[in-house]
A and B are shown apart, each in its own frame.
Chain A
Amino acid sequence: MIRRLGRPARAKGNLRWLPGLTVAFVVATLAAPLLFTILINWADKRSFLVEARTGQITLTFGEGPNQWRLPDAILCLPVAVPRLGAKDACGAAFGPDGQAREWLIDWREGQTVTLRIEPDGSFVVASVKGVADIPAGARLIVPADIWNSVGTLLFQAEATLGSDMAPGVRHYLWSGRWEAREAGAARFLFRSQTEVVKSGTLPAGARVDILKGEIPALSYGHISRRGVDGPMDVVLLSEFDDTYLSVRYYGVAQAVHIRPDWVDVAISSPLLLAVAAIFPFLASIGLYLSDMLKRTEATGIHISPGRENRRRHSRKAIRRGRRR
């Protein structure tokens, strides 16, 4: 109910907080995205997802189950004198240790293996840091025609995709892509899921590590193959920490480190985008309301009377009634 009131000077006292409210709205509108950017970046942790096709991957196994089944695999041990003219799968530099058989392996923590796809399509597990059964320098070879019964190999390990490019390299990264997924303080408060803050592709020949500080980060991943002619299809998801991607290219002295910064987060965060959209809307409502209240102050028109005025009006009405 809008009514003309006779004494606007009394209303001024009720709207003393108006300028403060307006300033608060303006400050909130400007500061909120900035505050959210800081919050989103605060104590940020991220996980890298890497999807690659590669001819080589090196794994240093972590704790947890790393159980593999390699059917009809041949163990080849290094020989002191080359076996010139050898026709078996082990080749001239290695000698077979018994017949091909099924290997059920539970890789222990700290063991390192390099997995390669050879030009003939066979899958080779080269032991770099081994155990009694598969000593360092030995190789397990799964012939190409057996691969289909291997299925997918799972691992929890520190992984290096591809190898340094050098003359004659045959086991290298073919192609790949990566995503950095983050969850900062603000995301934790408002959303329960991570956001992709940066992504990119991996060129052929790159050597890729996921690091945490100066040490390799633990990754969870799996290896499969679409056929026996192609490379391995590898998917890695790194542990959730202050991780970064280290990519080494041939000809570049130092590895390139990829770690999303606050600009990447600011331009890619849907949460920040939502905040950036909501706050101006709230601010404009606030400004509209404060503008309305200002006009009331200037003209003496109130949208509804205050408690004090209402009391005064009722007293006036009583007096008027008595006079009549």
Chain B
Amino acid sequence: MRWVIFTTTLLLAASWTTAVLKAQTLVLTTIPFNEKAHETARISGQLVAGVQVKSAPDDTILLHAYIPRNWAGKTVCSRVVSVDGLYEASNEYEVARDWPGATAQLPHPTSQPQMLSGKAADAVGVRVSLSSCENAAEEVTIAAWSGARQAPALLINSFQADVVFAYIDGATVPIRCEPIVMAGRSAYDTRCALDDIGASGRVEVKLLRIMDGKPAPQSRLFLWLP
């Protein structure tokens, strides 16, 4: 089983690397580029703070994401937030009307590179969703960049749940998510590893948080996989 997971992860990483090499660029529509390095922390009101995988060397801040064909002609929101809530960037991009469905580069002309590079893996979460940045992210895709871990993962703000379970595409056995052990964590606290999904396309993800031993209401989102 471990070999299967390992091989799947390698294949996924390899496919990302190949896709990234021939990525097209989306049109950044939020001008000027909207990012803030807060002096005090701000925290997301949403459960999912990041959906990401590693794609590039540590010293580059290049943001890529698999943009499905269904998103052609629509607005995409990229939200980048640091685990301590001190860095936040929310920007919108326009997908071309004739988008074929491929990995795209999302320009991220940051003026705060020190807030993004040189950090521990998953210290910054990226969430690319089909919506304007003012709306809730119900449909997300995996973002690929240097600050993520090798295996794709959901970064969740569980509001200090005992445990978070992620049910992928109606599976009966969920993924048991792990707490993030990182100093100053405020914006998100849990990591759900997606390295053994074995699915592609649009998959349903149900998040079940256990709070004080009891299940909290389920949350649902759709995740696009290449």
Q: Assess whether A285 is interfacial by the CB under 8 Å rule.
A: no
Closest residue of B by beta carbon distance from A209 = B183
Are B183's CB and A248's CB within 8 A?
yes
Q: What is the count of residue pairs linking A and B with beta-carbon distances less than 8 angstroms?
A: 71
Asked whether B186 lies within 8 Å of A165 as measured between CB atoms, the reply is yes
> From DSSP, what is the main secondary structure of chain B's interface residues?
loop
Instruction: Find chain B residues with CB under 8 A from A84 CB.
Output: 215
Type the 1/0 row for B109-125, where 1 means its CB is closer than 8 Å to any CB of A.
Answer: 00000000000000000
Q: A166-B185, A166-B189 are in contact. Are A82 and B160 (CB under 8 A)?
A: no
CB contact under 8 A between A251 and B40, given known A93-B163, A167-B157, A169-B160: yes
Question: A81-B173, A251-B41 are contacts. A91–B210 as well, Cβ < 8 Å?
Answer: yes
Does A250 sit at the interface, judged by CB under 8 A? yes
Q: Given A80-B176, A167-B157 in contact, is the A92-B84 Cβ separation under 8 Å?
A: no
Among A78, A119, A253: residue with most chain B CB under 10 A: A253
Contacts of B184 in A (CB 8 A): 164, 248, 253, 255
Contact residue range for chain A?
20 to 34
Residue in chain A with minimal CB distance to B212: A119
Instruction: Determine the distance from Cα of A164 to Cα of B159 in the docked complex, in whole angstroms.
Output: 12
Residue of B39, B157, B173, B212 contacting most chain A CB atoms (<10 Å): B212
| Cβ B212 vs Cβ A91 within 8 A | yes
B200 touches A (CB below 8 Å): no
Nearest chain B CB to A11's CB is how many angstroms away? Answer: 75
Contact with B along A224-260 (1 / 0, CB 8 A): 0000000000000000000000001011110100000
A89 surroundings in chain B (CB, below 8 A): 213
CB-CB under 8 A from B160, the residues of chain A are 166-170
A169 to B157, CA, bound (A): 12
Contact status A93-B213, CB under 8 Å: yes
A118 within 8 A of B: yes
Please tell me which one of the listed residues A80, A90, A165, A251 contacts residue B213 in the complex, with CB atoms under 8 A apart: A90
B125-157 interface bits toward A, Cβ cutoff 8 Å, 1 = contact, 0 = none: 000000000000000000000000000000001
Verify if A86 is at the interface (C-beta below 8 Å from B).
yes
The residue of chain A having its C-beta at the shortest distance from the C-beta of B213 within the complex is: A91
18 more contacts with CB within 8 A, not counting A82-B163, A93-B213, are A78-B163, A80-B174, A81-B172, A91-B212, A91-B214, A92-B214, A93-B163, A164-B185, A164-B186, A166-B43, A167-B157, A167-B159, A169-B160, A170-B160, A251-B39, A253-B86, A255-B183, A255-B184
